Structure 1
Amino acid sequence: MSAQQRERLAGQVCYQGSPFHKRYPADYGFPEPKPRPDKTLCDAEGPLVKSQAEALLVAGVLRGMVSTQFRNGWPQNIWSVRDGVVFESQLQNQALGEYHGYPMSLDAAFAAVVLDEWEKRAP
């Protein structure tokens, strides 16, 4: 992806969230969080407000940390890093470019790849 394509995409993606990955309701507009035991929590260390999650999503796009698989013009996945934690965002609405995200397990081999690439692509 060219820098111009990344800029355009960064201005269009939207973080919607999922109550299945939330412990705290924060400002997502969910009636209540519904954390599932088989899902990782994006806010396990404390509340993560929507603007912070959206900033992670945009940062991932701007660094080109997007999957090669696209659906209706949107990357299926976008990866970002915050305080050493790798987050994966997944497309949940391919008509609107809405994503939800969650931290990847650091024991996952791919998380190490994302951390390495994140540092290499730092502005």
Structure 2
Amino acid sequence: MAKREGNNTKRRIAARGTVPPTELARVLGQVRYGGSALHKKRPGDYGFIPPVNPRPSKSMCDDIRHVLKSEAQSLLTKGIEHGMVSNFPAGGLPKYVWAVDSDQEPYEAKLGEDGQTYHGYRLNKANESIMRDYVLAEWRQRT
């Protein structure tokens, strides 16, 4: 059974022009990608202990190929640069950031419980088709 796609209003890309460039620049200076062993099939260079701990209910960031930490950080940065963020309060960080890699695969990064680091996962066709199409369309318009 496919996972149901939710209707979480926080999981929406902020409309173009609604997040001031100064806020995006501030966010760029604060964000970092940490990852999560729950979303990994391959250990890569993340340094997790245990190296991977995939959960069947979680989307995998590396189900198609290895995604090294530097690439994940780059995708996070590119998503913010293009305003592919959820709405967030001034001075805060967006809960979600979206980006598309060079193979046209969309990824979603989510702010972790510590409120400082992000973990991400690929939006796959089977479980995330609506969100996947939405992110791809927005990415094409913003890049």
Which runs of 5 or more structure 1 residues have no equivalent in the other structure?
none
1:43 alignment partner in structure 2: 62
| Deviation of the 1:42 alpha carbon | 0.6
2:28 alignment partner in structure 1: 10
Residues 72, 37 of structure 1: CA spacing in aligned structure 2 closer, same or farther, 3 A cutoff? farther
**Paired amino acid for 1:3:** P
Alpha-carbon displacement from aligned partner over 1:82-111 (angstroms, at most 9, x marks no partner): 1221111111021xx210000112352122
Secondary structure of 1:8's match? helix
1:24 matched to 2:42? yes
Residues 72, 18 of structure 1: CA spacing in aligned structure 2 closer, same or farther, 3 A cutoff? farther
Partners of 1:15 and 1:57 within 8 A in 2: yes
**Paired amino acid for 1:23:** K
Match of 1:100 among 112, 119, 129: 119
1:91 matched to 2:111? yes
Bigger radius of gyration among the two = 2
Task: Select the structure that is richer in strand.
Answer: 1
Alpha-carbon displacement from aligned partner over 1:16-60 (angstroms, at most 9, x marks no partner): 000011111111110210111111111112221100000000100
Residues 40, 121 of structure 1: CA spacing in aligned structure 2 closer, same or farther, 3 A cutoff? same
**Paired amino acid for 2:39:** H
Total equivalences in the alignment: 120
Query: Identity of paired residues, percent?
Result: 38
Partners of 1:87 and 1:101 within 8 A in 2: yes
Which runs of 5 or more structure 2 residues have no equivalent in the other structure?
1-18
2:97 alignment partner in structure 1: 78
Distance 1:44 1:71 in 2: 35
Residues 102, 71 of structure 1: CA spacing in aligned structure 2 closer, same or farther, 3 A cutoff? farther
Distance 1:39 1:3 in 2: 33
Partners of 1:70 and 1:76 within 8 A in 2: no
C-alpha RMSD over aligned residues: 1.7
1:112 alignment partner in structure 2: 133
TM-score normalized with structure 1 length: 0.89
